[in-house]
Structure formats: C-alpha cells, structure tokens
Structure 1
Amino acid sequence: MDLHTTIYNRVATDLPVLLVGPSLGGNATHQWTKVAAALIDEARVVFVDLPGSGLSEPWDDADPATLDTVAAAVAGLAREQKAELGEDTPVYYAGLSISGAIGLHLARDYADLFAGIVVVASAATVGEPARWIARAEQVEETGTQQLVDETVKRWFTPDFRAEQPAVVDIIMEGLSTSEDHSYAQLCRALAVHDLRADLPYIQPPIMMIAGERDSSTPIANVELVAETAPRGELHVVEGASHQVTVMRPLQVAALISTMLRRTQWNRVVSESAD
C-alpha cells in the first residue's frame, strides 16, 4: 500500500518528524495545517493521506481490510524519513479519528520506530462492528456524499458551523469526494479494530486527546487507553467535538509540543546517563 504524503516544511531537516493522519473520509492537509503551522519550529510535519482520500491511490483489494495494513504503510513512511534525515531522527505520529486508531497499531507493532504517539478522538475500539459493516455496504451502494448531512452534525458543534462555515465546507468536501470503495474498506477495518487486550504491553508514550463534546468517541473508551497503556495520558479539549484538530488547532499543537519536548528531554537525560 502506497500512501501519498505532503511535507509541510520540507527544509526542516534538523527537527523531529511528525507524521499526521486524517479522519475517515478526511483530508490530512485540511485537517492538520493549522496545527502544523503552530509547530513549524518544532517538527517536520508530514501529512499522510489514507487510501482513496486526498491524493492517495484507492484501496488495493490485494491488501487485507485491517488497520494493520495501513499501519504497515505508515511505518514504511517513518523508515523513509529516517533514511533521508538520519536513523537517529525521532519520529512521532499523530492521528485524528481512524488515524488515531492506526496510531495504536503503530505503538503496538512498531515501537522501535516511534518516539511517541498522539491519538486524537479515537480509542482501542471505535463504534460497533455491525454498524461499520452496514456503513461499508451503504457507501458501496450510494457513495459518501449521502453521509455529509449527518456527519457534519457529529464532527462540528452548531456554534462552530455558524461561525466558520467555509472551514466546515472544506472539511466536508473531503468526505464527499472520498473514493467509495476505499472508504468502505476502511469501515471494514474499523469493524475488526480492537486493541484492548494489547494496551498493557504498548511501550511508546501515548497521548490521548479527546473533544469535550465528541459524541462519536465515548470518553470511557479514551480513558481506558490512557489508564491501561503504561505511558498513557489523557487531555480533554474544552468545547471541541470530533474534529478537534480543526476546531482547536492551537490547543492540539500545544499538547503535541509538550510531548515533543518532554520525550526529547528524557532522551537527552538517558543518553547522558549512559
């Protein structure tokens, strides 16, 4: 699986790398640019498009419909960044919604590649399997456009929709233009996503960021990850619903900055002790 990437600040070759991924039916550039702008002096930010969205190719049915498949492709991108910038370059990952779930797969299976994982508006399980399968079948039949009216109500608060209609329109365009089969395959991947039993064994730092008004991601599911993963932590962003990175980009950037600085400091201290 080849995932398209866009590097926000390509000339930043002496900074840690931060890979960022979008929500289901989202565009990474649209959902993460304001966060990237706030982190321009702290990380080289790489936007990662999921299959069938942004500029990535549609889902290849030779690949199993699991988040492990996508995580393997993201891990490949991390290795490419290390090959370009140096093997000692710290690489972090931050994902929104489904990409946050992918982050947990990365933390479990590729702990040696990532210095830290940020999970925004997601958890070790997401929704009900039967509903994801039903949505996949629905989208295969009628497309993603028919999801927009219902989804926008979950993704944004009424106040934000009224105050920032142009921003909302841009984000929803990503959903309406997603390739239908790829979207359906990602739904099927979410149907089998369940890392609850693996959480006690995940070693990288895991920062969980939840929107206070996110009806799509029950806070109890987010708390489970933060409390069970050995290096987990939880931050709740006031007033935000599901699209936390769009509604509160500066708060998200500040939290990611905290992780970058803390883990880099710990790394320096550890190396000095050696």
Structure 2
Amino acid sequence: MELNTTIYNRARPAERVLLVGPSLGGNAAHQWTKVAAELIDEARVIFVDLPGSGLSEPWDDADEASLDTVAAAIADIARGQKEELGDVPVYFAGLSISGAIALHLARDYDDLFAGVVVVASAATVGEPARWLVRADQVEATGTQQLVEETVKRWFTADFRAQQSATVDIIMEGLSATEDHSYAQLCRALAIHDVRGDLPYIQTPIMMIAGERDASTPIANVELVAETAPRGELHIVEGAAHQVTVMRPVAVAGLIRQMLGRPRWNRVVSESSD
C-alpha cells in the first residue's frame, strides 16, 4: 500500500516531522490545515491521505483489511522522511480512524515515532458488527447516504450554523471517498482492538478528546491514557468529533507541547481556543 502525501510547509527548516491523518471518509488537508498553520514553524507537517480519499489510490484487495496494513504504509512514509532529512524525530497525529492507526504505530514502530497524538479515538472504536453492516451498506449504496447522519455526530449544531461553508467542505470529503476503500476501512475498524497491548507501549501517546464527542465514549479514551505507561489525556471544551476542525488552535497548542518533549507524565486537562 502506498499513500498519497502532501507537505504543507516544505520551505521551512525541518528539525522534526509531523505526519497527520484524517477521519474515516475525511480529507487530511481539509481537516488539518488550520492546525498545520499554527505549527508552521514547529515541524514539517505532512498530510497523509487514507486509501480512496484525497489523492490516494483506492484500496488494493491484495492488502489485508486491517489497520496494521495502513500503519505499515505510514511507517514507510516516516522512514522516507528520515532518509531525506536525517535522524529527525517523527510524530504522527491522527483524527478518528487515523487516531486508531496511531496506536498501531505506537505499538509496532516505536523505533520510528517519537510520539503519537490520538484525536477522538481509542483502543477500540464502536461495535464490530455495526462496522461490518456499514461496510456492506456502503458497498451497495455509496458514502453519500451517510452524510446527513454523520454531520450531526461530527459537529455541534452551533458550529454547523456558524461555519456552514467549513462543514460543507468536510462533508464533501466523505461524499467523494471511494466506496470500496471506505468499506475496507470499516472492516479494519471491526477488528481494531489494542487494549491488551497498551501496558507494553513505550511510545508517548497524547490522547485528545472532544468534550461533546458522542462518537467516542470518554471512558474508552481514559482507558488508553491510564493504561499506556506514557499516556496523557486532554479534553477540548465544546468540541464534537471533528476536534481539529472545530478547535484547531487548541489542538495545535497541545501538539506543540509534546513536540520534542523527551519524557512526560500523565496529565488530564481541559483546553479551549
């Protein structure tokens, strides 16, 4: 698997690299650009498109439908950056499904990643049976039929009213996602479960949760922060599932804190723009 990447700030000095990934049916540039703008002098920020979204190729069925498959492709990107720039620290920040992928990276590639940021995700996501049902539905009728219900989970009513143009752009990413790729990612989420691995993960893990995120139970997020030896939890006030879109300044501020930090203790805090 080869994923498309876009460097946000190639002209800036690159003392560290931050790879960022989107939600399921999301566009990395649309969901992370405002965060990247805040971090323009902190790291080389690279948008990573998941299979079938953005400019990445659709899912190749030669690849197993698991988050490990996607994590391996992201690890290849990290290696490429180290080959180009030298042994600079590389971080990964993921929203929703990409946050789940971040935990696979933290578990399996601690030699590559100096830390990961998990936004609106956890060691398990949803119920396996429901992911499999959604995969079949999307294969049959496409992602467009998901938009009306999804927008209510991704954004608060106030944000939808005040930032309708932004919301429309984000939801266009879902509509444009290639159907089979979306379905395969659903199947990968159905088997995503790293709870048993958490006590053994030594990579620093920053958990960021939206205060009003109905899609990600806070107990699941707390489990990761409390079980991983180098876990940390922050709750962003007023944010629903699309935390990076709704509160980019807060998210950037938290990421800025962890970039280059050699060791950190568990912290629970609340943040807002």
**What residue identity is the alignment partner of 2:33?**
T
Q: Residue 268 of structure 1 aligns with which residue?
A: none
Counterparts of 2:263 and 2:200 in 1: how far apart (Å)? 22
Aligned-pair distance for 1:263? 3.0
Aligned-pair distance for 1:84? 0.4
Counterparts of 2:103 and 2:259 in 1: how far apart (Å)? 18
* Residue 106 of structure 1 pairs with residue 134 of structure 2: no
Counterparts of 1:152 and 1:263 in 2: how far apart (Å)? 38
Structure with more helix by fraction: 1
* Residue 256 of structure 1 pairs with residue 227 of structure 2: no
Aligned-pair distance for 1:264? 8.6
**What residue identity is the alignment partner of 2:121?**
S
Three-state SS of the structure 2 residue aligned to 1:224 is helix
Q: Residue 193 of structure 1 aligns with which residue?
A: 192
Q: Residue 74 of structure 1 aligns with which residue?
A: 74
**Distance of aligned partners of 1:30 and 1:180 in 2 relative to their CA distance in 1, 3 Å threshold:** same
**What residue identity is the alignment partner of 1:212?**
E
* Residue 22 of structure 1 pairs with residue 33 of structure 2: no
Q: Residue 270 of structure 1 aligns with which residue?
A: none
Q: Residue 246 of structure 1 aligns with which residue?
A: 245
Aligned-pair distance for 1:11? 1.7
* Superposed CA offset, 1:99-129 (max 9, x none): 0000000000000000000000000000000
* Superposed CA offset, 1:3-40 (max 9, x none): 00000001224320000000000000000000000000
The residue correspondences of 1:1-274 to structure 2 (distance < 5 A) are 1-86=1-86, 88-263=87-262
Aligned-pair distance for 1:262? 2.3
CA-atom RMSD in angstroms: 1.2
* Superposed CA offset, 1:140-185 (max 9, x none): 0000000000000000000000000000000000000100000000
Please say if residues 13 and 85 of structure 1, whose CA atoms lie closer than 8 Å, have aligned partners that are also in contact.
Answer: no
Counterparts of 2:41 and 2:170 in 1: how far apart (Å)? 26
TM-score by length of 1: 0.95
**What residue identity is the alignment partner of 1:32?**
W
Counterparts of 1:254 and 1:27 in 2: how far apart (Å)? 22
**TM superposition outliers: structure 1 runs of 4+ over 4 Å:** none
Three-state SS of the structure 2 residue aligned to 1:262 is coil
Three-state SS of the structure 1 residue aligned to 2:45 is strand
Counterparts of 1:152 and 1:102 in 2: how far apart (Å)? 22
Counterparts of 1:156 and 1:110 in 2: how far apart (Å)? 33
Counterparts of 2:164 and 2:187 in 1: how far apart (Å)? 31
Aligned-pair distance for 1:217? 0.3
Counterparts of 2:262 and 2:160 in 1: how far apart (Å)? 36
Please say if residues 21 and 47 of structure 1, whose CA atoms lie closer than 8 Å, have aligned partners that are also in contact.
Answer: yes
Aligned-pair distance for 1:214? 0.2
Structure 1, unaligned stretches of length 5 or more?
266-274
Counterparts of 2:216 and 2:123 in 1: how far apart (Å)? 11
